[in-house]
Amino acid sequence: MRPDTPADHTTEAERLLRTAAQYPEDHEPLVLQAAAHLELAGDRARASTLYDDLLGGPEATVDNPHLIKSLKAANLWEYGHEAEARAIIDGIRTAGPLDAAPWQVAAETLEAHDELESAHDFLSTALTLLLAPGEEVPYAVQSLLTGRHRVRRLMGLDHDAWDELAGALHTAPVPLDELHDPKRLWSLGSSDPVELKAEIARLRSELGTYRTALSRPFPVAVLHWPEHELRELLTAYPALAEEYVDRATHLDRLETALRDLHAAGTPNLGIVTGTVPSYEAFAASEAASPAAPGLLPQYATTLAARGRAVPWPPSRTGACWCGSGETYGSCHGVG
């Protein structure tokens, strides 16, 4: 059962923090989930403490510092620390992270507090940085386009190329322009049954879109083993050699699987990186043998659910997912 009351959210936060202590490799995403539950419970000061604890740790142990900062800023603004929140958001823009999530959280914070021009500027900066001309729009970046479209409609601005792209990527039956129409708010107070029915249909469509996103909060992830981890895995469990063969075959199969999923229309694809100790611990928790090939997809799903997935495909000019040190375009992005 999902938490409904502040007490339920506090209980869930405590459970997540206990789990984080048991699984240090997943400490960051579990603590972030705990902080979110504390916010929902109304304990925003304690949530800020969790964000501070994450940011105060050794830099090498933090995977997503800009996301943590954006979540901290959103939380601070909600309980009266606007100046500090603004300073954090300005710092995120200056840093220019190559991940869509911190940009989105910060922009939605500005929008929620009626800072529409700042939100628009923030989203435009993010898209300029993250969206290469002529490339397919990454799944994570689509939400930035949608958010920017919404803000521009609220500001009464005419469509531009990015608005057209947002509309083209929108798959719900109600067009994006209708969903983001500021006049919809007035129709909620109408006594005309026709107008009310039309608005209910729009709201159902919008809710359906949100539910679809929430039902897939984690990418469909495939499992990648770095070279030294794969060597250790196959040495310890030779039965998995048929699954992976060798490093080159493993990388080729992984890229092919992702491309096939993409061609089939599967959104939100990602890659999770395995380690032998983590895999063995997972096998023990499942009371299964690490040599069983059927355990590998479950392990990948678990890593993705703990926030360990990296979106695929990367930018063609970004680092390749395989760790070769080359760009994706000149490595596995060829072809």
pLDDT of residue 187: 58
- Higher pLDDT: 120 or 312? It is 120
Q: Which two tokens stand for residue 92?
A: 């995120």
Mean pLDDT of 122-139: 88
What DSSP designation does 319 have? B
DSSP state, 254? H
Question: Mean pLDDT highest for which of 104-113, 168-177, 316-325?
Answer: 104-113
Determine the pLDDT at residue 216. Answer: 45
Strand, coil or helix: 5: coil
Task: Please tell me the least confidently modeled range out of 46-55, 140-149, 197-206, 296-305.
Answer: 197-206
pLDDT at residue 188 tops 80: no
pLDDT at 265: 81
The whole-number pLDDT of residue 208 equals 56
Phi, psi of 273 (to 5 degrees): -105, 125
pLDDT at 318 over 80: no
120: pLDDT confidence band, cut at 50, 70 and 90?
very high
pLDDT digits (tens, 9 = 90+) for 225-266: 999 999 999 999 999 999 998 999 999 999 999 999 888 888
Check: CB of residue 233 under 8 Å from CB of residue 245.
no
